[in-house]
Amino acid sequence: MRTLLYNFYFLLSLIILTLFTTSKSNGKGDLTRQKPISIEVLLKGSSGEFHYYEPSLLKFETGKLYKLKLKNLSDSKHYFTSKEFADSIFTRKIQVNKDKEKIAEIKGDILEVEIFPNNTLEWWFVPIKTGVFDDLNCKVIDNKINKSHAEMGMRGKIIIE
């Protein structure tokens, strides 16, 4: 009787172990289903004065899932444009939130995004190519001094390792 019980527990733990390792290896297989690494970039500035990304240097690693939160805290709209970066990632989705509620998810290839004042957008992606990209910029023209935000300082660098 006792041997039977031991055998039963042995079998049970074997089944649990198998289920655990199987589900774990499944999670590793799909790179877009990892727990995301959250990174926040603030879009700051003041019309007629200056505009910038904070931070303006971003680092990512290939194969990891990132949730890049682009938060516009300024009085003007801003672009987050880097063609080289867009060409080096796989976009899982763009998520749009309103009042902390998720209101939309956009799927497919994304080249650039534009965020309006006091709004946040999340770009979920997995970097697939390494490189150093100096082309991050915002092409919006300042409504007071007729210069582009990029000319006024809204530029950045992205490194994928």
92 vs 149 by CB, closer to Cu ion: 149
Among 149, 155, 156, 158, binds Cu ion (CB under 5 A): 149
Q: Is 140 in the site for Cu ion (CB under 5 A)?
A: yes
C-alpha to C-alpha distance for 43 and 106, rounded to whole angstroms: 21
Residue 64 identity: K
Beta strands per DSSP E along 82-154: 89-98, 101-106, 112-115, 120-127, 131-137
Among 68, 70, 86, 154, binds Cu ion (CB under 5 A): 154
Q: Which stretch binds Cu ion (CB under 5 A): 2-10, 82-90, 92-100, 144-152?
A: 144-152
DSSP character at residue 5: H
65 vs 72 by CB, closer to Cu ion: 72
Among 41, 52, 78, 124, binds Cu ion (CB under 5 A): 78
C-alpha to C-alpha distance for 154 and 161, rounded to whole angstroms: 23
What stretch of H or E contains 97? strand 89-98
C-alpha to C-alpha distance for 39 and 106, rounded to whole angstroms: 19
Shortest Å distance, C-beta 42 to Cu ion: 12
Q: Which x/- pattern over 38-57 shows residues binding Cu ion (rule: CB under 5 A)?
A: -------------x------
Site of interaction with Cu ion (CB under 5 A): 51, 78, 138, 140, 149, 154
